Structure 1
Amino acid sequence: MMKKHEIYKKDKWNMMTVEVQGRYIVLREITDDWGEEAHTFLSRPAMMQWANNRFPKEAYQGNEEEWQRIMDAFKQV
């Protein structure tokens, strides 16, 4: 069975879908700029490391709730 999670972002980036496919985690990022970009991770820690690099907390100064919402969504995968 494949679990699919959707993570919505409020800024100019649209959304991400995360699918757990057996031992792989496939993340698809759909953006206005590049269309769809896919990333495959072998573990949740690898995905969380990518998420922390992709959404640095410093970039959300004054909007920590948004950052926390995105990180919490990743942690639920």
Structure 2
Amino acid sequence: MFKKVQIYKTDKYNMLNVEVQGKTLIVREISDQWGEECHTFVSRPEMLHWAQNRFKPEAFVGREEEYKEIFEAFRSV
């Protein structure tokens, strides 16, 4: 049994989910541009470090609220 946390979902082709499987965190990122990418992390800090590199604040200029929501979702995992 594992816990699945939705970080964001804009439609059925653009979403990011985190699956918690014991101590392992699996990030599944689905995009219409790149398909599905899977990232496996062994700790929360490692996953948050990846997220900070993946989601740069400058990419969310004018959409700061969306950026804030994404990181709140990551921190809740």
Higher percent of residues as strand: 2
Instruction: Report how many aligned residue pairs link the two structures.
Output: 76
Structure 2 unaligned segments of length 5 or more: list them.
none
Deviation at 1:9, TM superposition (A): 4.7
Report the Cα distance in structure 2 between the residues aligned to 1:25 and 1:41, rounded to whole angstroms.
5
Structure 1 unaligned segments of length 5 or more: list them.
none
CA RMSD of aligned residues (A): 1.7
Question: Retained in 2: the 8 A contact 1:16–1:28?
Answer: yes
Q: Which residue of 1 aligns with 2:36?
A: 36
* SS of the residue 1:51 aligns to: helix
Q: Which amino acid aligns with 1:44?
A: R
Q: TM-score, normalised by structure 2?
A: 0.89
Q: TM-score, normalised by structure 1?
A: 0.89
